[in-house]
Amino acid sequence: MAGKRLILMGPPGGGKGTQAKRLQDRYGIVQLSTGDMLRAAVKAGTPVGLKAKAVMDAGQLVSDDIMINLISERIDQKDCANGFILDGFPRTLAQAEALDKLLKDKGIKLDKVIEVAVPDERLIERITGRFTCGTCGEGYHDKFKQPKRPGVCDVCGGTSFTRRADDKAETVVARLKAYHDQTSPLMPYYKAKGTLEVIDGDRDMDVVSRDLERVLGT
Ligand code: ADP
Ligand code: ADP
Ligand code: ZN
């Protein structure tokens, strides 16, 4: 089967989005970020967005039902036919079990589950320094990845940047707790299936990218 079908797991701010965007370009597969999908729904004021907003602002997890429907419909779209990277899904055991079932029903097999591991003490700094180009979505960081020309996006030349409402220190604590309580049990789940690869995400972005390519091959 052509393409690759991957899950990229890891804590909030661990570098999933950064790496998923690079894999998207490198392998011609599409990044499916449930966080981005939810933020788009909030912005558009859809029924899902209206339900999700307060939960996201509190740093908690949106209900499994909503998330499973969202991803099931998204995977059916044409651009996923050549492969995809799930970024931010699944985040609970119920989501992982539902994903197994829906992939089986659709006749899709996962190639790999990769955990980008980063210790908690790094994450606050990563998250509170994060900002994004408002035009093209390129990710930046106050300290680790500044635009080459201050105030101008390297990729599209845009000059407006955004910061996420939930990227403040108070909310990060709740997001880390949700990660440890609800998402970390997925590692033994995938480990038992023999599909889990763990990558050290506490290194330079380019080093992490090379390690991912090593694991994924050509
Ligand atoms: P996630 O999608 O897992 O929440 P991001 O990819 O958005 O994480 O990364 C969080 C922040 O940390 C961003 O500002 C990003 O530029 C920065 N970042 C990502 N990977 C690294 C890294 N390996 N070293 C330092 N900073 C990083
Ligand atoms: P992070 O930088 O924490 O990895 P995301 O952009 O993936 O952030 O997610 C932002 C928020 O969206 C989460 O804190 C949560 O409220 C919600 N969310 C995203 N994906 C899921 C999911 N699979 N299940 C439940 N909630 C989700
Ligand atoms: Zn841009």
**Chain segment 90-107, per-residue pLDDT in tens:** 999 999 999 999 999 999
- Our answer on whether the CB atom of 58 is closer than 6 Å to any ligand 2 atom is no
Q: Is the peptide bond before 188 cis (omega within 30 degrees of 0)?
A: no
Residues 121-133, mean pLDDT to the nearest whole number: 96
**Residues identified as active-site:** 16, 91, 130, 164, 175
**Average pLDDT of the chain?**
96
Contacts of 98 (CB under 8 A, 6+ apart): 64, 68, 90
Ligand nearest to the CA of 88: 2
Contacts of 211 (CB under 8 A, 6+ apart): 199, 200, 203
